[in-house]
Amino acid sequence: MHNQNDRAEFNSLTGASVDSTGTQSKASSQQENNRRQFLQSALGVGFAAAALPVCAQTMLLTPATGLSEQRLQIDVDGQAVSVYSVRPEGKQSLPVILVVSEIFGVHEHIADVARRFAQLGYLALAPDLFVRQGDASKYASVAELIKEVIAKVPDAQVMRDLDAVLAWADKHGGDLKRVGITGFCWGGRITWMYAAHNPAIKAGVAWYGRLVGEANALTPLHPVDIAAALKVPVLGLYGAKDTGISLDSIVKMEAALAKGSSHSIFKVYEHSGHAFHADYRPSYVEADAKDGWKACVAWLKANGAG
Out of 161, 242, 279, 288, the active site residue is 242
C-beta of residue 53 within 8 angstroms of C-beta of residue 33: no
Point out the catalytic residue in the list 107, 197, 222, 274. 274
Instruction: Give pLDDT tens digits for 109-142.
Output: 999 999 999 999 999 999 999 999 999 989 889 9
Share of the chain above pLDDT 70, in %: 85
Average pLDDT in the 267-276 region? 98
Candidates 149, 167, 168, 56; CA nearest to 102 is 149
The mean pLDDT of 60-71, rounded to a whole number, is: 96
180 has which bridge partners? Answer: 97, 203
Specify the range with the lowest mean pLDDT, choosing from 29-33, 55-59, 61-65, 242-246.
Answer: 29-33
**Residue 159: per-residue pLDDT:** 98
pTM of the model: 0.87
Does 274 qualify as catalytic in the annotation?
A: yes
196: helix, strand or coil: helix
Give the domain ranges of the chain.
4-15+25-59+68-302
Active site residue 155: no
What does the pLDDT read at residue 46? 78
Q: Which residues pair with 201 in a beta bridge?
A: none
The active-site residue, picked from 19, 107, 161, 185, is: 185
How much is the pLDDT for 11? Answer: 53
Domain 4-15+25-59+68-302 maps to which CATH number in 2.70.98.30, 3.30.230.10, 3.40.50.1820, 3.30.559.10? 3.40.50.1820
Indicate the residue type of 267.
K
Confidence label for 31 from pLDDT (cuts 50, 70 and 90): very low
DSSP string spanning 37-52? Answer: HHHHHHSS----GGGP
Report the distance separating Cα 156 and Cα 194, nearest Å: 10
Q: Note whether 216 and 245 are within 8 A (CB).
A: no
Q: Does 242 have pLDDT greater than 90? A: yes
Half-sphere exposure of 113 (CA within 13 A, CB side): 30
CA atoms within 13 A on the CB side of 99: 27
Helices (H), the chain: 4-13, 29-42, 108-119, 142-148, 155-171, 186-197, 223-226, 247-257, 286-302
Instruction: Give SS3 for 75.
Output: strand
